[in-house]
Amino acid sequence: MTRFITHFESAIEPGVTLPADCEQTMHNNRPLWSRYDLEGVKSSMTKSALKSRKSDMWRYRELLPIGDEIEPVTMNKSMSPVVECPRFAQQMGVKHVWIKDESQLPTCSFKCRGMSLAATMARHFGRTRIAMASNGNAGGAMGMYAARAGMESVCFMPHDTPIANQTECYYSGAKLFVTNGLIDQSGKRIREGHDRGLWFDISTLKEPYRLEGKKTMGLELAEQFEWELPDVILYPTGGGTALIAMWKAFKELREMGYLNSQTMPRMYAVQSDGCQPMVTAFEAGERFATRHENAKTIASGMRVPTALGDFMVLDTVRESNGAAIAVAEERIIEFQRTVAAAEGLMICPEAATCVGALEKLVEANEVSASDRIVIFNTAAGQKYFGSGKLEGIPEIDLTKPTDWDEFEAQYLPKLVGS
């Protein structure tokens, strides 16, 4: 096998291409798409070849931006299961619901996928320190994959992020900072540090590799469904990377002729009404979202008031005949309990919003009883108990500019070799 990635394309400026054999970030502050020689992929990643491969995400390596010569940073995760949920389906008034349970991955969330690839590419391009703004699960996964890769990592998280997320990130040896702002505000500071050369910024869509790692959610789903995609996918959306990535995966598989039916799933971006910028934009017919002020939700991973990939999410739901749907914040725990009691699965609050979305879709006759429906449980519900602040974690005051000289002198020397 060689490497089948051919180039990158601007996600917004038609005709702008960038080479694939060197490190990329964004173009004009907009995300990039990775493009492949799909004929070449088809000749190497055949359906029968897949049958004899290990059940980890690297089984799809031809559709990832790495070739044989790049050693992946991996914890040998296997595929996440798709769990059929008949009792829950019946309660919802439909026949076929599956939960794709990403909580069973190494850091108990879907963030492993993107981080595994981001760490792989960062190490390949000689980076020794990666950084990001995170709502929790991604920061924990970054810390763990950076540790696995022998790299340093730096994370900015809101101070009220669940304690399990803070602990996971801190224990990994990441330099963790808590902030008095939300992820979009922290993201700007992490970018400033990137521009000063302090680290490589792997925040959502600020490099093109995490997106490709998340694409394996869609590739796996297609294979687990024997190349007959479900009718409906409900995805709890913050920055929306996995929704965008899965749709990209499905289109690549369709182009390669791997899908048994030309019918593509309707993709639903689900949000809490405590933070629903995508839904507001969708309902207004806009391609770009405006900031959701005073965002508040217990589904902390979805507390994303502005997203770099807003137009990619909105394009996806429209192109797939899906929608963006908001669900009442105060019902999230009820939805978690519904699934736990019906099926024995402790889904996270983010995924619980998809239960509310399904309820709405059934009421509005937008799904039929026979539709095959998949909900993504993006993390373990057990990670969300306990709030507060870990002892000794420094704070970044986002109301004031960061003095980077001071920051560097105070914190980064300690990082080197630590």
Ligand X SMILES: Cc1ncc(COP(=O)(O)O)c(C=O)c1O
* DSSP bridge pairs for 373: 97, 232
Is residue 115 within a helix (H) or strand (E), and if so which, with residue range? helix 111-124
**What mask of x and - would describe binding to ligand X in positions 15 to 54, judged by CB under 6 A?**
----------------------------------------
Nearest residue to the partner ligand X, using Cβ: 301
Give the number of residues in contact with ligand X, rule: CB under 6 A: 19
Q: Residue 300 CB, nearest distance to ligand X (Å)?
A: 7
Using alpha carbons only, how large is the chain's radius of gyration in Å? 20
* DSSP bridge pairs for 327: 272
Closer residue to ligand X, CB minimum distance, 38 or 133: 133
Per-position DSSP letters for 333-388, written without gaps between them: HHHHHHHHHHHS--B-HHHHHHHHHHHHHHHTT-S-TT-EEEEEE-BBGGGG---S
Q: Residue 196 CB, nearest distance to ligand X (Å)?
A: 26
Q: Residue 359 CB, nearest distance to ligand X (Å)?
A: 19
Q: Which one of 187, 258, 378, 415 is in contact with ligand X (CB under 6 A)?
A: 378
Residues 233-272 that bind ligand X (CB under 6 A): 236-242
109 binds ligand X (CB under 6 A): yes
Closer residue to ligand X, CB minimum distance, 275 or 396: 275
Binding segment for ligand X (CB under 6 A), chosen from 122-130, 255-263, 278-286, 296-304, is 296-304
Work out the angle at residue 314's Cα, subtended by the Cα atoms of residues 308 and 315, and round it to the nearest 5 degrees: 105
Q: Residue 399 CB, nearest distance to ligand X (Å)?
A: 24
Residues 123-152 that bind ligand X (CB under 6 A): 135, 137-138
Q: Is 233 helix (H, G, I), strand (E, B) or coil?
A: strand
338 binds ligand X (CB under 6 A): no
**What mask of x and - would describe binding to ligand X in positions 298 to 327, judged by CB under 6 A?**
---xx-x-----------------------
Closer residue to ligand X, CB minimum distance, 154 or 217: 217
At position 411, the amino acid (one-letter code) is Y
Closer residue to ligand X, CB minimum distance, 338 or 377: 377
Whole-angstrom distance, CA of residue 138 vs CA of residue 157: 10
Pairing relationship of beta strands 175-179 and 152-158 according to DSSP bridges: parallel
- Do the beta carbons of residue 144 and residue 312 sit within 8 Å? no
Closer residue to ligand X, CB minimum distance, 179 or 241: 241
Q: Residue 193 CB, nearest distance to ligand X (Å)?
A: 20
Whole-angstrom distance, CA of residue 99 vs CA of residue 84: 7
Buried-exposed string 340-367: b where 16+ CB fall within 10 A, e elsewhere: eebbebbbbbbbbbbbbbbbbbbeeebb
Q: Which one of 232, 350, 361, 415 is in contact with ligand X (CB under 6 A)?
A: 350
- Residue ranges in contact with ligand X by CB under 6 A: 109, 135, 137-138, 204, 236-242, 301-302, 304, 348, 350, 378-379
